[in-house]
Amino acid sequence: MGLSCSGKVGMLFLIILNIIFMLLGLGLMIPGILVQVNVDIVNDKVMPLLNQVSLGGLTFGDAANGLSVTLIVLGAFILLVAGLGAFGACCKNRCMLVIYAIIVALFWIAEVVIVILWFVMRGNLESEAKSQLLSQLHNNYKNDDLTTHEISTSWNYLFMELQCCGVNAVESTTNDFDSSVWQSGSPTAQIPKGCCGATVSDYTSFSQASCTDTVTSGYYTKGCYQAVYDKIMTYSNWFIGIGITLLVVEICAIIAACLICKQVGDKDMVV
C-alpha cells in the first residue's frame, strides 16, 4: 500500500522543511561561534569585570560564554533532529516520524516559553545589569593603568576595545567617575586614558589633557552600558529572523509528519 497524493506531497514537503531546518541549525551555530571568536567583550582581560555582574545568580561573563556554547549545541541538536525527520520521511518510518513530531513540538513550546519570559523580564534584567555595572565602577575602579588592579584593568580594556567611557555617556567633567574610588584620590584626570584613545602599547606614556583632564575633546561619547548592549544587539536581527522562521517551520513540520504518519503503518511501506 502506497501513500496517497497528499501523503506524497507531505513527504516531499517534510524533506524540504528539514533541509531548511538544517540550514537554521547552522544559522544558530554561526553566531555562537562568532561570539567565541569575537573577543571584544568575552576575553581574559575583561572577564574579571563581567564576572562581578550577576543576573539571577549567573554572572554576565558565564552567561556570555554559556550562551555561545548553548547556541552551538542547540544548532547541532537541530541538525540531528532535522536529519531524523528527513530520514523518517524518506523511509516512511512511522516510529521515527512520531518521535520527530514529539521532539519538534516540545522544542516549539520551549521556544515560545523562552520568548515570553524574555519579554516579561527584559526590562528588569537590563535595569539590574546597568545598576550593577555602575556599582562596580563606583566601588572597584581604582587605578588608571593596566597592571595595578584587576577590575580597574578590566574597565580600561573595555574602554579601549568598545571605544566607550563610563557606564552612562560622558558629557563633561561631571560623570560616572565622580563617585568612584579612583576620584577619591583626587587625580588630575577626570576620565581614564582608555576613554581618550590610549592603546595597550602607549597606555603608560599617553597624554592628552584636553580629554583626560578637561574633558573637552577626544573622548568616547558612548557609555559602556550602551556599547555592550549594541554589541549584543548586533546579533539580534539574526536571532529574531531565525527564531521566527524556526517557529513557522516547526509547525509545518509537525503537520507534515502527522499527515504521513496517518498514511503509513508500523512497518516501512514502499510507494
Beta strands in 88-222 (DSSP E): none
DSSP 45: T
Q: What is the pLDDT of residue 271?
A: 38
User: 123-157 pLDDT, tens per residue?
Assistant: 777 788 889 899 999 999 999 999 999 999 999 99
Residue 182: the pLDDT is 96
As given in the structure block, the three cell numbers for residue 18 are: 528539514
Which residues in the chain show pLDDT less than 50? 1, 266-271
Measured CA to CA, the distance from residue 83 to residue 256 in angstroms comes to 15
CB-based contact 65:42 (threshold 8 Å): yes
Hey, where are the domains in the chain? 5-124+235-263, 137-226
With H, G, I as helix, E, B as strand and everything else as coil, classify residue 164: coil
Please tell me the predicted confidence (pLDDT) of residue 254: 86
The confidence score (pLDDT) of residue 247 equals 85
For the chain, report the end-to-end CA distance as a whole number of angstroms: 7
Predicted local confidence at residue 269, as pLDDT:
42
Helix 94-140 / helix 224-233 crossing angle, nearest 10 deg:
170
pTM above 0.75, yes or no: no
**Residue type for 192, please?**
P
| Biggest distance spanned by C-alpha atoms of the chain | 88
